[in-house]
Amino acid sequence: MLKNTKFLNVVVQLNRDLEEITEPLDYGSVHFECEGREYSLDVYNSYPDQDAVTLTLIEDREVFENCNYQLNDSDFHNPNLTAEVYINSEEEDEVIESVTLFIQQGFTTKAVDLNFLT
């Protein structure tokens, strides 16, 4: 179980200014899986900037009722961790440069690269 991990935010780095993107980006959920242990979060808010969008996350166990929520703090240091975010748009493959989750464990902030699925 996650006892020492706080989810700070997700930053979606774009390869062009947001004003140049013609199709809206729709942000879904963030899902983690490591050796059968899972954890899912929903995107709560998005804050656009010139060439990035910051997403805040919320735990919603009713939405993800099939998730076992057994991920533990050490899984974020495990090379077998799969971390994915769902983003939908006509242009997502063309405009997204990277997606990074920021977590805090104790006094340390860690960046976790997320794969994005459409």
39-56 pLDDT, tens digit each: 999 999 999 898 999 999
Residues 71-91: what's their mean pLDDT?
Answer: 89
- Quick check: pTM over 0.95? no
- 54, 47 contact by CB (below 8 A): yes
Which residue range is the domain that position 26 belongs to?
Answer: 5-117
Confidence check: pLDDT of 69 > 90: yes
Cα–Cα dist 102/9, whole Å = 5
Average pLDDT over residues 90-94: 66
Describe the strand order of the beta sheet including 37-48 as a list of residue ranges.
108-113, 96-105, 5-14, 52-58, 37-48, 26-34, 82-88, 115-117
How many domains does one find in the chain? 1
Contact assessment for residue 86 and residue 28, using Cβ atoms and an 8 Å cutoff: yes
For the cut 70, the answer to whether the pLDDT of residue 101 exceeds it is yes
Q: How sure is the predictor about 112, in pLDDT bands with cuts at 50, 70 and 90?
A: very high
